[in-house]
Chain A
Amino acid sequence: EVQLLESGGGLVQPGGSLRLSCAASGFTFSTYAMSWVRQTPGKGLEWVSSISGSGGSTYYADSVKGRFTISRDNSKNTLYLQMNSLRAEDTAVYYCAKDLFQGAAAIRGWFDPWGQGTLVTVSS
């Protein structure tokens, strides 16, 4: 069974940093692209970033480009999101999600399944 378990969320002041982790199990992690998607009551679901299975390709939403960095450690089956220069509008539940189909170099944006989410609150 595929399992994705996020951690690292919490309360951080504006301008601060946080690193989210997503521990994966139940599939060959290195052969699937992975993504981060966030959700707020006001803005709904927003794709944040994706990385190919090999880690060689990354995509970012304009809203986080230059501030967030996605990475992965395939030896640890773990996905990361380093979030710097955090703003109030980054407050959200952050989900990691696996791509539906295999492909070490491909990123398709078909999110299945998703982890349970971790809450990030940016506030002074």
Chain B
Amino acid sequence: DIQMTQSPSSLSASVGDRVTITCRASQSISNYLNWFQQKPGKAPKLLIYTASSLQSGVPSRFSGTGSGTDFTLTISSLQPEDFATYYCQQSYSTPWTFGQGTKVEIK
């Protein structure tokens, strides 16, 4: 199974900050990497697919980069509604696996 490791596990940031979350795969997954946002009591929401493609309706302050084993999710200017937990997920091969999550909290 492909292991997905996110860092950090949590971070504190202020509105307007630039935030970067990293995700590392245990083997190369090309660009088959997706990012989700989850708010408490809600289902995950797809933000970015194939490493850098912004899902329809997602604000442009979200961006993703990377290929192979190393990926990043960047929020260029953190907004109040962005405080949530973020997950990466590989769709390269089954079993499709998720990172453990990064909780973005208010500083």
**Residues of A at under 8 Å CB distance from B?**
44-47, 50, 59, 61-62, 95, 100, 108-117
* Given the contacts A44-B101, A45-B89, A100-B49, A109 and B43 also touching, CB distance less than 8 Å: no
The 8 Å CB contact of A113, one of B46, B87, B98, is B46
Interface residues as binary, B65-107 with A (CB distance below 8 Å gives 1, 0 otherwise): 0000000000000000000000101010011111111000000
* Given the contacts A111-B46, A113-B45, A117-B43, A44 and B91 also touching, CB distance less than 8 Å: no
Minimum CB–CB distance for A120 against chain B, Å: 15
Q: Whose C-beta in chain A lies nearest to the C-beta of B92? A: A109
The 8 Å CB contact of B44, one of A45, A59, A62, is A45
Minimum CB–CB distance for B66 against chain A, Å: 17
Q: Which residues of A contact B36 (CB under 8 A)?
A: 111
The 8 Å CB contact of B43, one of A44, A46, A50, A115, is A115
Please report the C-alpha to C-alpha distance between residue A62 and residue B49 in the assembled complex, in whole angstroms: 25
Contact across chains for B91 and A108 when beta carbons are under 8 A apart: yes
Please report the C-alpha to C-alpha distance between residue A110 and residue B101 in the assembled complex, in whole angstroms: 17
Q: Is B27 in contact with chain A by the CB < 8 A criterion?
A: no
Contact across chains for B55 and A112 when beta carbons are under 8 A apart: yes
Contact across chains for B34 and A110 when beta carbons are under 8 A apart: yes
* Given the contacts A95-B43, A113-B43, A116-B43, A46 and B94 also touching, CB distance less than 8 Å: no
Minimum CB–CB distance for B71 against chain A, Å: 15
Contact across chains for B94 and A59 when beta carbons are under 8 A apart: yes
Q: How many A-B residue pairs have CB under 8 A?
A: 53
**Residue among B34, B43, B91, B97 with most chain A CB within 10 A:** B43
Please report the C-alpha to C-alpha distance between residue A61 and residue B76 in the assembled complex, in whole angstroms: 36
The 8 Å CB contact of A110, one of B44, B91, B100, is B91
Please report the C-alpha to C-alpha distance between residue A115 and residue B45 in the assembled complex, in whole angstroms: 10
Contact across chains for B97 and A47 when beta carbons are under 8 A apart: yes
Contact across chains for B95 and A62 when beta carbons are under 8 A apart: yes
Q: Which residues of B contact A108 (CB under 8 A)?
A: 91
Please report the C-alpha to C-alpha distance between residue A112 and residue B44 in the assembled complex, in whole angstroms: 9
Contact across chains for B43 and A47 when beta carbons are under 8 A apart: no
